[in-house]
Structure formats: structure tokens, C-alpha cells
Amino acid sequence: MNRILTACLVAAAILCSCARERHVVKTPRPSKRLVLIPEDVKKPSMRPYVVNGQRYYPLPSAEGFIQRGKASWYGKKFHGRPTASGEIYDMYKRSAAHKILPLGTFVNIVNLENGRSAVVRINDRGPFVKGRIVDLSYASAKDLGIVKKGTADVRLVALGKEVDRIDSPQGVKPVVEVKEIRRGEFSIQVGAFSSRENALRLADRLKVLFDYVDVNIYQDMERGDLYRVRVSKSKSLKEAQKAERRLEEMGFEGAFIVSL
């Protein structure tokens, strides 16, 4: 009897603080640093982009974030709802959701299937599917030509905002502000269940292996309430990738990294 009561209390403690928004994520403010864009800024791959009068540059390989994978898009069902950044989602503006990039980061996305590209700002979290790296607004998906198909293979490159220019022996060089991408708080999502009991059962199994195990509610517009099971807390993306590989080796092939 005491054992049953203890299990009930544990389940209540796990779920009592769950929210019901689409993407409810408390993301710490990322640290920033300044980077001098190198001499190869004239290369096509390093050309700047101008967004609302502000100039952005692809980051040097040592500083940047480049990712390849599937892009998808989300539209009317989420139009007018809060995003993870607190902004209201507007499907007709250029924005996107990403699992780990700092909110507010601008990225250049290239559709590898047709060569079209778009610069968009990350203001939401998702897509919560293994293999999909970015969830685009309708306007962004239209720019890339993937509205009809629904998904496409893309390359994503993080951009840094120009904040100054300095004279150097090689000429005038831009200085860009870089948000810390590889450090923060990361966790691994192992699964999402429509059944709370199934989520708690898996969480109990994983508590033997991980110090941090969390179950929270995610409101999916198509499937209703889902109970997400997340394990492990890491302070760097490298640590999180190790935990992700460990889970994959344990048979959780759908596990993926998320930012907390």
C-alpha cells in the first residue's frame, strides 16, 4: 500500500507543474561574444544578408552552426498562438522553430532540392520529430518552395549580426555579434505518449540510468495532449550528443536533443 502511495506521489510531483502551450520552453538568455569576420568574407558562402536594414553574416566554420536535414512547415492551426519566445505566431511572417538554437537567431536556409534560399529568425521550438531540423512558417516555406510538398532536404547556417567595422592591414572588416550556440541547457527527448501511464512507466525505467528524468505535457493540435519524456541535463551540445548516442544504442532510435 505504501509503495502504491509513493508511486502516486511521484507521478503527481512530475506532472503538477506541466503547462499546456504548444511550445513551452524556458530558455536562458544566451551569452554573446564578438567575432571578426576573416578575409575570405568575399567568398560566395560568406556573403552578407540584409534583413530590415541590419546586416548578417554566416559565421566562420570555427564559430558557426551548420546543419543538414529535413525542413517542414506549420500554418493555420498555430496562427495567432504564442511561440516559445512569447511572440504570437504569424504564419505570414518569416520565422521558424528549431530545437536548440537560441531564440532570436537568424539563419539562412537553402532548399537543396531546388536551390532556393531564405533568411528567417528562430522564435519557436520544434519540430519535435527525429531527423527534422527546422519547422518553417508558411511565408518561409513559400519562399523555399516546399508548401505543396510539405518537407524538403535543407542546409541551415546560423548568422551573426554585424555590430561594428574596423580597419585592418587587409582592409575594413566587419565585426559580428555571435550568440553562444554550443553551451546552455540541453536535454534528450526519448518519447511522446498520448497515455500518461505509458510515459510514467518509461520515466520510472529511465530513472535507474539518469539523474534527470522529466515528464511534461505538450498540446499537439492534431493528437491532443502528449506526455513528453525527457532525460539527462547537459551544459554543452557536445555532452548532449553523447547522451543522445547512448540512448540510441539502448534502442531509443527516435531520441533527439532539445534546448531547455
Q: Where in the sequence of the chain do the CATH 2.40.40.10 domains occur?
A: 32-179
Phi/psi region, residue 33 (left: phi>0; alpha: psi -120 to 50; beta: rest), is beta
Tell me what the mean pLDDT of segment 70-97 comes to: 96
Q: Where in the chain is the domain with CATH 3.30.70.1070?
A: 182-259
Flag whether pLDDT at 2 surpasses 60. no
Residue 73, pLDDT > 50, answer: yes
User: Cell 559580428, residue?
Assistant: 176
As its CATH architecture, domain 32-179 has Beta Barrel (2.40)
The radius of gyration of the chain's CA atoms, rounded to the nearest angstrom, is: 20
Q: Are 144 and 118 in contact (CB under 8 A)?
A: yes
Out of 56-65, 100-109, 128-137, least confident range: 56-65
Q: If you average pLDDT over residues 208-236, what whole number do you get?
A: 91
Res 199: pLDDT: 97
Rounded to the nearest integer, the mean pLDDT of the chain is 86
pLDDT in tens, 134-159: 999 999 999 999 999 999 999 999 99
pLDDT at 42: 62
What's the CATH superfamily of 182-259?
Sporulation related repeat (3.30.70.1070)
Q: How far is CA 148 from each of CA 79, 101, 140, 143, rounded to the nearest angstrom?
A: 18, 27, 13, 12
